[in-house]
């Protein structure tokens, strides 16, 4: 049903075997952020990784950054197949292709002996959305809809994992390149956006992200940082 549900249900069994990766050929009950569901037909790439603090150099307080890293790693991966001009990241970690969502990422945390992160990634690859209902087509796209090719899913998965690991290296130059990449590929910088953080709604101009990965919004009352939340309109 869902790679993230499976991973989280079996988290204790994998406690001493992390990182652990769960991949599905098809998902029937995929979950998205908030209360959304994530539809993934045959040909989509869906996986979840259980990472304990021992496997990641990033401290738990900076885990919001690993969610950004995942978005950037997938955006860079898809650049191997599609024109970079068409690929954008949307805070916190969605990847857009030709103005439509191609990848969604769900990060969940659990406290075991060590904090554990479940990184769930869904990418529309060979599951063309050209015949999907018009409301889905307006918002979502698959890689094949642009390339008109069938892609080898394990290759995309491996590319992503290598890039994720590289970008997670905790040093100043990896952080700098992450931020530079984000700034270059940010879908919404300079645009008017509406955000929700808990029950708080904010409207203003998107000014990209800060070093911790918080979204910067210039409101009429000054600049605000959104640590976690959603962009609801843009």
Is 4 a residue that touches ligand BTN (CB under 6 A)? yes
Of 112, 85, 80, give the one whose Cα is nearest residue 97: 85
Residues 78-107 that bind ligand BTN (CB under 6 A): 94, 104-106
Residue with Cβ nearer ligand BTN (3 or 56): 3
CB-based contact 20:7 (threshold 8 Å): yes
> Which residue's CB atom is positioned nearest to ligand BTN?
104
Answer yes or no whether residue 46 interacts with ligand BTN by CB under 6 A. yes
- Asked whether the beta carbons of 78 and 87 are under 8 A apart, the reply is yes
If the CB atoms of residues 1 and 180 are measured against ligand BTN, the closer one turns out to be: 1
Per-residue b or e along 160-180, where b marks 16 or more CB atoms closer than 10 Å to that residue's CB: bbebbeebbeeeeeebeebbe
Per CB under 6 A, 41 contacts ligand BTN? no
At residue 156, the 3 state secondary structure works out as: helix
Q: Dihedral angle at the C-alpha atoms of 175, 227, 60, 79, nearest 10 degrees?
A: -40
> Of residues 18, 58, 121, 167, which one binds ligand BTN by CB under 6 A?
121
> Is the CB of 93 or the CB of 189 nearer to ligand BTN?
93
Query: Which is nearer to ligand BTN, 105 or 117 (by Cβ)?
Result: 105
- At 94, give phi and psi (nearest 5°): -80, 150
Residues that bind ligand BTN (CB under 6 A): 2-4, 30-33, 36, 38, 40, 46, 48, 94, 104-106, 120-122
């Amino acid at each position: 049903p869902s790679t993230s549900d499976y991973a989280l249900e079996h988290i204790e069994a994998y406690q001493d075997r992390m990182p652990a990766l769960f991949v599905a050929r098809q998902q029937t009950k995929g979950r998205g952020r908030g209360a959304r569901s994530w539809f993934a037909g045959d040909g989509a790439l869906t996986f979840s990784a259980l990472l304990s603090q021992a496997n990641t150099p990033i401290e738990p307080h900076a885990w919001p950054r690993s969610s950004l890293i995942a978005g950037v790693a997938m955006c860079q991966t898809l650049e191997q197949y599609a024109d970079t001009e068409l690929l954008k990241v949307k805070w916190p970690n969605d990847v857009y292709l030709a103005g439509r969502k191609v990848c969604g990422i769900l990060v969940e945390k659990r406290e075991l002996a060590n904090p554990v992160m479940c990184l769930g990634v869904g990418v529309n690859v060979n599951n063309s959305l050209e015949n999907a209902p018009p409301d889905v087509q307006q918002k979502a796209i698959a890689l094949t809809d642009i390339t008109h090719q069938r892609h080898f899913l394990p290759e995309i998965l491996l590319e992503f994992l290598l890039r994720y690991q590289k970008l997670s290296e905790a040093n100043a130059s990896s952080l700098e390149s992450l931020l530079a990449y984000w700034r270059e590929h940010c879908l919404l910088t300079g645009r008017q956006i509406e955000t929700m953080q808990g029950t708080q709604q904010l409207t203003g101009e998107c000014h990209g992200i800060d070093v911790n990965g918080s979204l910067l919004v210039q409101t009429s009352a000054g600049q605000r940082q959104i640590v976690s939340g959603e962009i609801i309109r843009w």
